[in-house]
Chains A and B, each alone.
Chain A
Amino acid sequence: MSISHAPPGSTKDDIPGISPPDGADDQHLGLEPIAPVSSRRARVPRWLRRTTGPLVLLALWQLLSSTGVLTPDVLASPGRIAEVGRDLVADGSLPDAMATSLRRVAGGLVLGTVIGTGLALLSGLFRVGEDLVDAPVQMLRTVPFVGLIPLFIIWFGIGEAPKTAIITLGVTFPLYLNVYAGIRGVDAQLIEAGESLGLSRWGLVRHVILPGALPGAMTGLRYSLGIAWLALVFAEQVNADSGIGFLMVQARDFLRTDVIVVCLIVYAFLGLLADFIVRSLERLLLQWRPTFTGR
Chain B
Amino acid sequence: MATDVHRPVTTSPVTTSSAVRVEGLTRAFDGRAVIDDLRLDVRQGEFVALLGRSGCGKSTLLRILAGLDRDIEGTVLVPRRKAVAFQAPRLMPWKKVWRNVLLGLPGKPERALADRALEEVGLSQRSDAWPKTLSGGEAQRASLARALVREPDLLLLDEPFGALDALTRINAQRLVGELWQRRGCAVLLVTHDVEEAVLLADRVLVMDDGVIAYEQEIDLDRPRDITDPRFAELRAGLLERLGVDPAAEAA
Contacts and interface: CB of A to CB of B under 8 A. Distances in A.
Interface stretch (B87-95, B160-168, B227-235, B240-248): B87-95
A288 B93 contact: yes
A199 interface: yes
Q: How large is the interface on A (under 10, 10 to 19, 20 to 34, 35 or more residues)?
A: 20 to 34
A211 B86 contact: no
Interface string A258-295: 00000000000000000000000000000111100000
A117 B233 CA distance: 62
Contacts of B95: 207, 211, 288
Nearest to B146: A197
A208 B92 contact: yes
Interface in A181-235: 189-190, 192-199, 203, 207-208, 211-212, 214
A207 B68 contact: no
A194 B133 contact: no
B104 interface: yes
Given A189-B90, A198-B106, A207-B104, 12 more contacts: A190-B90, A193-B92, A194-B103, A195-B67, A195-B68, A196-B66, A196-B67, A196-B83, A198-B105, A207-B103, A211-B95, A288-B94
A247 B94 CA distance: 46
Contact of A288 (B84, B88, B130): B130
Contacts of B146: 197
B94 A189 contact: no
B84 A196 contact: yes
B91 to A, nearest CB: 8
Nearest to A199: B104
Given A192-B68, A193-B86, A207 B92 contact: yes
Chain B at the A interface: SS class: loop
Interface string B83-125: 1101010101111000000011110000000000000000000
Contacts of B84: 193, 196
Given A196-B84, A197-B146, A212-B94, A290 B104 contact: no
A79 B21 CA distance: 85
Interface residues of B, number: 22
Nearest to B131: A288
A111 B198 CA distance: 63
Ordered nearest first, which 4 A-B pairs have the shortest CB separation?
Answer: A197-B104, A193-B90, A211-B94, A196-B84
Contacts of B66: 196
Contacts of A214: 94
B132 A211 contact: no
A234 B191 CA distance: 63
Contacts of B132: 288-290
B68 A203 contact: no
Contacts of A194: 92, 103-104
A288 B150 CA distance: 25
A128 to B, nearest CB: 22
Contact of A197 (B93, B94, B103): B103
Contacts of B92: 190, 193-194, 207-208, 211
Contacts of B68: 192, 195-196
Residue among B103, B130, B146 with the highest chain A CB neighbour number at 10 A: B103
